Amino acid sequence: MTDTGTHRRTPPATFTSRDPATGRPLAEHPVHGPQDVARAVERGRAAGARWAALPAARRRAHLLSWKRLLASELDAVAASVAAETGKPLRDAELELVLTLEHLSWAARNAGRVLRGRRVRTGLPAANQSASVVHRPLGVVGVIGPWNYPVYTPMGSIGYALAAGNAVVFKPSEYTPGTGVLLARLFETAVPGFTGLFTVVTGAAGTGAALAASGVDKLAFTGSPGTARKVMEVCARSLTPFLAECGGKDAVLVTADADLDAAADAIVWGALGNAGQTCAGVERVYAVRAVHARLCDRVVERARALRPGTGPDAAYGPLTMPGQGDVVRRHVEAALTAGAGAPLGGTDARHGGADAPGAADPAGGPFVAPVVLVDVPEDCPAMTEETFGPTVSINAVADVDEAVRRANASRYALGAAVFCGSRRQGAAIASRLRAGAVSVNSVLGFAAVPALPFGGSGDSGFGRVHGAEGLRAFTAPQSVTVRRFAPPVDLTSFATPAAAKARAVALTRWLHTRR
Ligand code: NAD
């Protein structure tokens, strides 16, 4: 195995997770290789067979026990998320709140969504009854990111388990402890199913081993570049693949929008979690009549926010060490191309005395808010995922131009519309190339478990959450049951040719009449 772990160059037996604000070591975790992964998949297969054989109501009861334990251990899980990502504790708590809603929905609705249903047979098969049932796939591999280390992978883990599968989960190498904690709480809440939900830890090599392990589906969340690599591995064994990747989400603001509400939501959607949100706000298109007033309101609110640690910090550090360079490159390229920066700019890195990273020779992992305006559309700040606390606000002539520009991205994950009329907002939403759209809020869809979530283009494909997210971890099985002999049996050599010809003539007549 060629896993490099997080912080060492030679293949280690363990790797160290760290506090991203200070670099302080948090814990050592094993680097699991192909053999460990194979064992986890094998155990999952055995436990999964028993899990799949349970009545849906029993699975629901077990998953709701897990949900209750997660709720009672919310403080411990949120503390783990905060320690590993650096995000403020209250943001980690919000992540848990959303996760509990989703797990509850998946547990309660899997039986209803996936139960067998009768379908009509049509004339040639009128002697049959027909039904379709959604059967679990077996073992689902889940590879997760670090930015929402509970909410995001649980969109696959919770729904895959609810659909009757076993799960082997490889959390991000930045957040392994949170993954291990999730599995430990599962084992406590659901005794007797050892191996049903296992966590393997490590970096790219462990993820690649999971993709190559023969799991029955691989649900990946991360960047599109990694998705391509993982998909290539899956392609070798035709392992089905689900890709939840990055975004470059746009907010459209019409002339009659409530600008205070829009500014408030844009600031939260762009700067919350230090901008490290797949469906966070990265681009804003405001009609020219309100552009300046919107910018003023955004700048006023963003200026008041301080990155850092502790209860007063609006958001934490950039979690990944190299991300500050990406943010700086995007901001500098925009400024060089003629963009304005009413807030922040080339000195985007925060060097305040209370920012622990300020002492870091690279400038520290804290980035103060950056608001850019009039950014040329071909700048990386408009075309690439920035994943930092920045937002670009451009003026457009009208809604048509806003829609055109919003849709001109290679990403298509989420979007938002701020508009005086809810009906017009919904009409604009229907013109947007995005997997999920919020009208008069941002990320409104994330808190509604019944809504499927996912994107297209570089944002990936497939859906998690909702009924579609349950079905994503099943295979439909179609069953026909012959009830009586048909008048003309088209699937028998014994049927006279003349009878078959009459059946063809009847069918032709039926399908040619108006
Ligand atoms: P990443 O692509 O660097 O890593 C994602 C996961 O893939 C990690 O667990 C990593 O260890 C693993 N990995 C890396 N190389 C691999 C390989 N060759 N084979 C197998 N596994 C490999 O992404 P990240 O930095 O952890 O997460 C940030 C990205 O995730 C952003 O692009 C963000 O937009 C996206 N994201 C998307 C969603 C969504 O639901 N669409 C949600 C959260 C984050």
Question: 240 and 253 share a domain?
Answer: no
Asked whether residue 255 falls in the same domain as residue 273, the answer is yes
Cα dihedral across residues 211, 188, 450, 82: positive or negative: negative
How many whole angstroms from 216 Cα to the centroid of ligand 1?
A: 20
Which atom of ligand 1 is nearest to 454's Cα? 41
Q: Which one of 278, 386, 387 would you pick to mutate in the ligand 1 pocket, going by the greatest count of ligand atoms within 8 A of its CB?
A: 278
d(CA 327, CA 406): 21
255 part of a folded domain? yes
Question: 238 with 267, same domain?
Answer: no
Q: Is the CB of 74 under 6 A from ligand 1?
A: no
Task: Report the alpha-carbon distance of residue 37 to residue 208 in Å, rounded.
Answer: 10
Q: How far is CA 154 from CA 41, 75, 182, in A?
A: 18, 18, 9
Ligand 1: does its nearest atom lie under 6 Å from the Cβ of 386? no
**Ligand 1 contact, 442 CB (< 6 A):** no
Taking CA atoms only, the protein residue closest to ligand 1 atom 13 is: 204
If asked whether residues 255 and 169 sit together in one domain, one would say no
As given in the structure block, the two tokens for residue 503 are 């059946």
Please check whether residues 381 and 404 belong to one and the same domain. yes
C-alpha span between 254 and 427 (Å, rounded)? 13
**Ligand 1 centroid to 498 CA: how many Å?**
62
For residue 221, the CA-to-ligand 1 centroid distance in Å is 5
Is the C-beta atom of 148 inside 6 A of ligand 1?
A: yes
Claim to verify: residue 96 and residue 233 sit in the same structural domain: yes
Instruction: Give the chain's domain count.
Output: 3
Q: Would the CB of 109 count as within 6 Å of ligand 1?
A: no
Determine the atom of ligand 1 nearest the C-alpha atom of 202: 11
Q: Give backbone dihedrals phi and psi of 107, rounded to 5 degrees, phi first.
A: -65, -45
Question: Is there a single domain that holds both residue 422 and residue 501?
Answer: no
Tens of pLDDT along the chain (514 residues)?
333 344 444 555 999 999 999 999 999 999 999 999 999 999 999 999 999 999 999 999 999 999 999 999 999 999 999 999 999 999 999 999 999 999 999 999 999 999 999 999 998 899 999 999 999 999 999 999 999 999 999 999 999 999 999 999 999 999 999 999 999 999 999 999 999 999 999 999 999 999 999 999 999 999 999 999 999 999 999 999 999 999 999 999 999 999 999 999 999 999 999 999 999 999 999 999 999 999 999 999 999 999 998 888 999 999 998 899 999 999 999 999 999 999 997 654 443 333 333 333 334 689 999 999 999 999 999 999 999 999 999 999 999 999 999 999 999 999 999 999 999 999 999 999 999 999 999 999 999 999 999 999 999 999 999 999 999 999 999 999 999 999 999 999 999 999 999 999 999 999 999 8
Which of 200, 142, 161, 156 lies closest to 56, judged by CA?
A: 161
Which tokens is 378 given? 């071909």
- Quick one: pLDDT at residue 2? 36
Kindly give the distance from the C-alpha atom of residue 11 to the centroid of ligand 1, in angstroms, as a whole number.
21
Asked if 450 and 467 touch (Cβ cutoff 8 Å), the reply is yes
Q: Which residue has the tokens 């139960």?
A: 115
Contact 408, 273 (CB under 8 A): no
Q: Whole-angstrom Cα distance, residue 333 to residue 330?
A: 5
Take atom 16 of ligand 1 and give the residue whose Cα is closest. 204
Flag whether 40 is in a domain: yes
Residue 205 near ligand 1, beta carbon < 6 Å: no
Strands lying side by side in the sheet with 474-482: 117-119, 128-136, 474-482
21 lies in a domain?
Answer: no
CA dihedral 365, 370, 372, 375 (to 10 degrees): 10
Is the Cβ atom of 348 under 6 angstroms away from ligand 1? no
Q: Is residue 11 part of a domain?
A: no
Contact 358, 378 (CB under 8 A): no
3-state secondary structure of 207: helix
Tell whether 3 is covered by a domain.
Answer: no
Question: Could you give the angle at which helices 204-211 and 224-236 cross, rounded to 10 degrees?
Answer: 40
| Domain identity same for 74 and 222 | yes
Q: Measured in angstroms, how far is the CA atom of residue 319 from the centroid of ligand 1? A: 13
List residues with catalytic annotation.
244, 278
Q: What is the CA radius of gyration of the chain?
A: 26
Cα three-residue angle 310-270-338, rounded to 5 degrees: 120
| Residue 181 belongs to some domain of the structure | yes
Q: Which atom of ligand 1 is nearest to the CA of 246?
A: 34
| 272 and 176 fall within a common domain | no
Residues 40 and 75 in one domain: yes
40 in Cβ contact with 198 (< 8 Å): yes
What are the phi and psi torsion angles at 262 (to 5°)?
-65, -45
Structural domain boundaries enclosing 139: 34-117+124-245+466-474
- Asked if the structure places residue 5 within a domain, the reply is no
65 & 152 share domain: yes
Report the nearest-CA residue for atom 35 of ligand 1.
Answer: 222
Query: 222 in ligand 1 pocket by Cβ < 6 Å?
Result: yes
Under 8 Å between Cβ of 84 and 177: yes
User: Which atom of ligand 1 is the closest one to the Cα of 413?
Assistant: 41
Q: Measured from the CB, is residue 226 less than 6 Å from ligand 1?
A: yes
**Residue 191 near residue 213, CB atoms below 8 Å:** no
How high is the pLDDT of residue 10? 52
- What is the DSSP track for 219-240? EEES-HHHHHHHHHHHHHTT--
Ligand 1 mean position, distance from CA 245 (Å) = 7
C-alpha of residue 332 to centroid of ligand 1, in Å: 25
Q: Are residues 470 and 374 in the same domain?
A: no
Say how far apart CA 399 and CA 254 lie, in whole Å: 7
Dihedral of alpha carbons 140, 143, 146, 152, sign: negative
**Gap from CA of 214 to ligand 1 centroid (Å):** 20
Whether 222 is covered by a domain: the verdict is yes
CATH number reported for the structural domain that contains residue 395 in this entry:
3.40.309.10
* Beta carbon of 385 within 6 Å of any ligand 1 atom: yes
> CATH number of the domain that 208 lies in?
3.40.605.10
For the CA of 247, the nearest atom of ligand 1: 34
Q: Is 204 in the pocket of ligand 1 (CB under 6 A)?
A: yes
| DSSP label at residue 275 | G
Burial level of 53, CB count in 10 A (0-12/13-18/19+)? exposed
For ligand 1, is residue 221 a contact (CB within 6 Å)? Answer: yes
Q: Which two tokens stand for residue 293?
A: 């007033």
| CB-ligand 1 contact for 4 (6 Å cutoff) | no
Question: Which atom in ligand 1 lies closest to the alpha carbon of residue 464?
Answer: 40
C-alpha 80 to ligand 1 mean position (Å): 19
> How many CB atoms sit inside 10 A of residue 194's CB?
12
